[in-house]
Amino acid sequence: MLACLSCQQHTRTIMTVSIDCLGIGLRTPHYKDLLEKRPHLSLIEFHSENHFYSNGHSRTILHKAKEIAPISLHGVGLSLGSADGLDNSHLKKLVNLVDDINPSLISEHISWGRIGNIHTHDLLPLPYCKDVIQLVADNIDHVQQALGREIIVENVSSYVSFEQSNMKEWDFVYEILEKADCGFLLDINNVFVNSQNFNFNIEDYLKSLPWDRVKEVHVAGHQAEENLLVDTHDRPACSEVKSWLDKVYSQCINKPPVLLEWDSSLPSFEKLIAHMHDLATEPGIENYALA
Ligand SMILES: [Fe+2]
C-alpha cells in the first residue's frame, strides 16, 4: 500500500497488488499438494456444492485447508436470478456447510440456472432491468437471512443480450448491491470479456462501482472463439486483464484478496502458484518458477 503524496489532506491510499493479497481457487487434483506444500495464500476458494455432504474427505479437506489460510465458499448453484425463488433444500445444505466451516467469505453469482426442478448447471446471464434487480435483491436477502451474515455476489461473463434490458450492466450490478446491501466479488476477467463481447468501455463500468463493497477480486483466463471471448478458466490471465487488475486494485478500499481461478486444463500446483505470483505488482519472497 502506498500513501498518496500529492495532497496532505488527501487520506486515500493507493493499493498495489502485493503477494500477500493473492489466493487461488482450489480444485480436487491439487488438494494433496496444498496440504503438503502449504504455500502462503491470502484466500483459498472452494466450490460450496462439492462440500455439501457432511461426512468424509471433502469436509476434512476444508478443515485442514483452514489451518493454512482463510477459506471462501464459492457457490455456483444457488441461482440468485431464479424467478421461482430459491431452492430451499440447496440453501439448507449451504447453511449446514457454513455453520460447520465458518468461512471468511461466502460468494455466489448474479445469474440464474434453474427453473423449477431443472438445473442447467450453468451461470446464465440476466436481463438488465428494474424487475430483475428487485428479484435478485430479494433472493440475496433471503440467503443472508438464512445464513445470518453477508454474502458477496459476482458479476458474470455473458454472450447474449436481452430485448428486455433497458440499462447498462454496471448500473444493474450497482443497484443490486445497494438494494440487497451485500458485498461485491468483482471478476475483472468477466468485465473484460463482456467489454469485448458487447463493445463497452471498461472505464464506464468501473467509475460507478461501490468500491467499499468490493470484498474479493477474481482474475482468470479466457479464449477467443470466432467473434466472442469465452470465459474458459483454462489458462493464465492475459496481459490486458493483468493491467486492469492493477488499475482496479488502486481503487479498492478494503485491500480485498485477489484470487486466480483455474478450472480446466489445470497446470501443476507449482505452476498455478507461480501464475498467481505473476499477478503481484510488488515482488514477494516466495518464488515458484513459471518456466
Ligand atoms: Fe469469477
d(CA 30, CA 17): 24
Q: Which of 183 and 55 is assigned the larger pLDDT? A: 183
- Chain segment 242-279, per-residue pLDDT in tens: 999 999 999 998 899 999 999 999 999 999 999 999 99
Report which residue type is found at 70: P
CA 262–ligand 1 middle distance (angstroms): 10
CA 100–ligand 1 middle distance (angstroms): 24
d(CA 20, CA 101): 23
CA 68–ligand 1 middle distance (angstroms): 22
pLDDT band of residue 5 (cuts 50, 70, 90) is: very low
CA 127–ligand 1 middle distance (angstroms): 19
CA 154–ligand 1 middle distance (angstroms): 7
Strand partners, 124: 112
CA 259–ligand 1 middle distance (angstroms): 9
CA 256–ligand 1 middle distance (angstroms): 14
Report whether pLDDT(290) > 70: no
CA 109, distance to chain mean position in Å, is 8
CA-closest candidate to residue 244, choices 187, 288, 199, 200: 187
CA 203–ligand 1 middle distance (angstroms): 19
CA 171–ligand 1 middle distance (angstroms): 19
Domain positions in the chain: 2-277
CA 38–ligand 1 middle distance (angstroms): 23
CA 25–ligand 1 middle distance (angstroms): 9
Grid coordinates of 239: 496481459
CA-closest candidate to residue 74, choices 17, 169, 151: 151
Give all strands (DSSP E) within the chain, no chain letters.
2-3, 13-14, 22-25, 44-47, 71-74, 105-109, 112-115, 118-124, 152-154, 183-187, 214-219, 223-225, 228-230, 258-260
CATH of 2-277, one of 3.90.1640.20, 3.40.430.10, 3.20.20.150, 2.60.40.10: 3.20.20.150
pTM to 2 decimal places:
0.92
pLDDT band of residue 9 (cuts 50, 70, 90) is: very low
CA 288–ligand 1 middle distance (angstroms): 24
CA 251–ligand 1 middle distance (angstroms): 19
CA 117–ligand 1 middle distance (angstroms): 25
Cα–Cα distances in angstroms (integers) from residue 100 to residues 60, 103, 166, in the given order: 11, 9, 42
CA 277–ligand 1 middle distance (angstroms): 18
Identify the pLDDT of residue 3.
41
- Report the sign of the C-alpha dihedral through residues 58, 62, 63, 64, in that order: positive
- Report the sign of the C-alpha dihedral through residues 107, 109, 113, 115, in that order: positive
CA-closest candidate to residue 180, choices 134, 227, 220: 134
Label the pairing between strands 118-124 and 112-115: antiparallel
How many helices (H) and strands (E) the chain has is answered by: 9, 14
